[in-house]
Structures are given as structure tokens and as C-alpha cells.
């Protein structure tokens, strides 16, 4: 069975950076099925890329290209204002791709950072608790698509300055206001409350993605 993997790339980069050139080079790499990119609504100095894989034989090669290889040195480095963050998630729910084929007005990316001593058993407990939040979201007419899965390896939690296990959830919304309205419902409060005991922190942002 083919693993369903998406690589996420966060670039702190200037407004005039030729990100499209990097994306065009990535599109030529064997194994990549689709790429989305866009600037964050909360901070438009950060560009997010989402790379869906059909096969992952070149995953590490792409990581190198974006952090120290040709794409980094020739295209990204002159415009970067921070260190690129590159990591991958293994989908455990949703279509198995980052955004499926549905166009989203705005996409929420929620990051859940686990406690430093989290075991694989605790991860499974978290995913069972996460189902409640997922069901509440999928029942809303304002969401257009949703996907989720654990990060492969660890991700640095800036709140505690430690690398920890993490989980990513993405939701396509008709608007940011629709997402905010959901966060004010009892269903959100109840489902999020079941996740908090597992976490050392969490973060949330929105992106207007376009497909490359």
C-alpha cells in the first residue's frame, strides 16, 4: 500500500522573492503529484508550500534542495529572512492529499505539539480523541475539505524550544470568518478540551493557496 505523504515547507522570505521559480523546478521532480503555495494571511512574509507525493523516493532529495541544495542557493537564499522549515506528514484521515481537488477560499493549518515524553500509544489515544473534532468540522457546510496526520519525526515547538512529536490538521474554509465562528461553538470547545492534555502547545494559521 502506498503511503500518503505531504511535505510542508515554511519560508520566511521577501515579497519580491521568485518563489514561482522554485515551484517550477520542484514540479519536474519524479514522484511529486501536485504542489500548492501561498502566503499566510496573518504574516505575508511567510510562504507555505504543500507538496503531495505519489511516490516518496525523492523526498529526502527535495528536503536537501530546499535547505542546502540548488533551489536553496540559487533561488531562495538571497530572499530568505529566516531558516526554511521542511517536514512531512503521513495522512491518517482525509483524502490522502493536502487539499484534494477542491478549491478553498482559505486553508487553515493547525499544528498540535505533543508533550516531550509522548509515546506511540499516547499518539494513538490522541488520534482517537481527534475524531470528535474532525466529525464536528466535517458536519459544517462552511468547510470544503479536511486532512490530518502525524508529522514524520519531530517538529520544534517554539513555546518550549524543544523538538517534539506533532500532528497537523488542515481544513479548507469558505472564509476565515467561518473558521472563527466555529471556534466559538460548544462543539469546538468540547472537542479541543479532549486534546489539551496531550499537548505542549499548538499553533494555527491561514493561507490562500494556489495550485502550481
Whether 5-90 and 106-211 share one fold: the answer is: yes
Q: What is the pLDDT of residue 6?
A: 94
pLDDT of residue 2: 60
- What is the fold, at CATH topology level, of the domain defined by 5-90? Alpha-Beta Plaits (3.30.70)
Q: Which of 105, 87, 126, 96 is nearest to 41 (CA)?
A: 105
Tell me the domain boundaries of the chain: 5-90, 106-211
SS (H, E, C) 143-178: EEEEEEEEECCCEEECCCCEEECEEEEEEEECCHHH
pLDDT at residue 1 in the model: 42
User: How far is C-alpha 118 from the geometric centre of its chain's CA atoms?
Assistant: 21
| Rounded distance between C-alpha atoms, residue 106 and residue 99, angstroms | 11
Mean pLDDT, consecutive 10-residue segments, the chain of 212 residues? Answer: 84 94 95 94 96 94 96 95 95 76 80 96 95 93 91 96 96 93 94 96 94 88
The pLDDT of residue 97? 75
Q: What is the CATH number of domain 106-211?
A: 3.30.70.100
Amino acid at each position: 500500500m502506498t503511503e500518503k505523504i505531504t511535505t510542508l515547507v515554511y519560508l520566511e522570505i521577501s515579497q519580491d522573492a521568485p518563489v514561482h521559480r522554485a515551484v517550477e523546478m520542484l514540479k519536474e521532480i519524479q514522484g511529486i503529484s501536485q504542489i500548492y503555495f501561498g502566503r499566510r494571511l496573518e504574516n505575508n512574509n511567510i510562504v507555505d508550500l504543500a507538496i503531495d507525493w505519489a511516490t516518496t523516493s525523492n523526498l529526502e532529495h527535495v528536503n536537501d534542495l530546499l535547505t542546502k541544495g540548488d533551489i536553496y542557493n540559487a533561488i531562495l537564499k538571497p530572499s530568505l529572512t529566516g531558516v526554511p522549515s521542511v517536514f512531512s506528514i503521513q495522512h491518517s484521515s482525509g483524502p490522502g492529499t493536502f487539499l484534494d481537488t477542491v478549491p478553498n477560499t482559505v486553508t487553515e493549518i493547525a499544528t498540535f505539539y505533543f508533550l516531550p515524553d509522548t509515546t506511540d500509544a499516547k499518539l494513538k489515544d490522541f488520534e482517537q480523541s481527534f475524531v470528535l473534532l474532525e466529525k464536528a468540522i466535517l458536519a459544517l457546510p462552511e468547510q470544503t475539505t479536511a486532512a490530518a496526520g502525524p508529522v514524520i519525526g519531530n517538529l520544534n515547538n517554539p513555546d518550549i524550544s524543544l523538538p517534539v512529536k506533532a500532528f497537523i490538521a488542515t481544513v479548507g474554509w469558505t472564509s476565515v470568518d467561518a473558521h472563527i465562528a466555529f471556534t466559538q461553538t460548544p462543539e469546538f470547545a468540547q472537542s479541543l478540551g479532549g486534546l489539551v492534555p496531550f499537548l505542549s502547545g499548538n499553533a494555527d494559521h491561514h493561507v490562500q493557496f494556489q495550485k502550481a
